[in-house]
Structure 1
Amino acid sequence: MYISELKEKPVWQMTGEELLQLLQTVSIKDFKELNTSQETQQSTKRYVYGIRGIADLLGCSITTANKIKKEGHIKKAIIQRGRKIIVDADLALELFAKK
């Protein structure tokens, strides 16, 4: 059976020999491609929402999170339109660590 046919066949329908043949033909390049795609997914930005999100992120009370926001320690990480608050979590942690 050809490798391209084996790749399309569900694993539960393969014999042990077919599965071993497929696993042996998988190259290190394929594993590297899988790892890089996972790394790019992990590098996407992480956001928290609202004062409660800030409190959970920093591990403090809502009152303390409100004070931190008002003092402007993490101002560059906050986007606010009306009552909606969106915070870039990684940038907020970085800015908070500097203060």
Structure 2
Amino acid sequence: MEVKNLLSKPVWQMTGEEFIFLNRHALQENKVRTVQSAADKDKKYVYGIGGIARLFGCSIPTANRIKKSGRIDRAITQIGRKIIVDADMALELAGRKSGGRG
């Protein structure tokens, strides 16, 4: 069965089988979204050079040098002028976060 076709079909015209199929599909899709959003909630982001400076507790020029050094490139997503940094990954890459070592 094609989900796209069923979505455009009025409920009163569906067979029981079609309705149950559509319901199961919606539940399955919802589970995937829940898992993805749970993973995203665990992440902490900082934005811009100012965010990098606050994260590392340094000045703006030093934050600029950290970004330009390339050490935290994997933690940075840049779209045009907007800079988004995965805080935990940036700290890990810079060697500031202990990896569970006591």
TM-score category, normalised to shorter length: 0.5 to 0.7
- The 10-residue stretch of structure 1 (52-61 or 89-98) with the greater mean CA deviation from structure 2: 89-98
- Using the size of structure 2 for normalisation, the TM-score is 0.53
Question: 3-state DSSP class of the match of 2:91?
Answer: helix
Question: 3-state DSSP class of the match of 2:95?
Answer: helix
Q: Which runs of 5+ in 1 are unaligned?
A: 1-39
- Max radius of gyration: which structure? 1
User: Which residue pairs with 1:15 in the alignment?
Assistant: none
Q: How does 1:39-78 map to 2 (within 5 A)?
A: 44-78=42-76
Q: How does 1:76-87 map to 2 (within 5 A)?
A: 76-87=74-85
Percent pairwise identity = 66
Query: Of 89, 92, 98, which residue of structure 2 is paired with 1:91?
Result: 89
Could you list the runs of 4 or more consecutive aligned residues of structure 1 that deviate by over 3 angstroms after TM superposition?
none
- Using the size of structure 1 for normalisation, the TM-score is 0.55
